[in-house]
Amino acid sequence: MKQAPKTNAMRILESMKIPFSSYTYECDEFVDAIQIADMLKLPYEKVYKTLVAEGHSRAYYVFVIPIAEELDLKKAARSVGEKSVEMIHVKDINAVTGYIRGGCTAVGMKKQYVTRIDRSAQALPAVIVSGGRLGMQIELAPEDLRRAAKAEFADIVRRAEE
């Protein structure tokens, strides 16, 4: 079996001496993270998706949340000190991040954006996020993801009890 080419995110993790493992899967076009978790037989609560939003100030922000959850835009805005945030349009993902839809990860975007990881990750020994391209997922400790993405943990998902 040939080794999959390294992504920018993987090179950054290696340069920071952050241990990670990777999962590859066949993928020619965007499939959502739940389909990917199903394909790889991964538990939903361990797999996180990366979302990009634009604040009222026109600054961009990155939010990493569990795949089965929804970003709470009010909490997300509060976590970054904005009046409001809204998701960027799919067509803008590459221009803003350098990644394509489905391959977007908080590590190694073309600019360093303020990044928040949902606090639920802190309770897990490892999380799985996109590896920086379609067909690649990486698994690493939540604290290592926080460090590599220069992120902070925050309460940013809509919870059923609220």
**71-111: per-residue pLDDT in tens?**
999 999 999 999 999 999 989 999 999 998 888 999 999 99
What does the block give as tokens for 11?
């090179």
The domain that holds 46 is classified in CATH as 3.90.960.10
Judge whether 162 lies within some domain. Answer: no
Q: What is the pLDDT of residues 123-154, one digit of tens each?
A: 999 999 999 988 889 999 999 999 999 999 99
**pTM for the whole thing?**
0.93
Judge whether 11 lies within some domain. Answer: no
Which residue type does 136 have?
Answer: M
Judge whether 32 lies within some domain. Answer: yes
pLDDT at 133: 87
The answer to whether residue 39 scores a pLDDT higher than 80 is yes
pLDDT at 6: 87
Give the helix/strand (H/E) hosting 146. helix 142-148
Tell me which residue range forms the domain holding 42: 20-154
Helices (H) and strands (E) in the chain — how many of each? 5, 8
Count of domains in the chain?
1
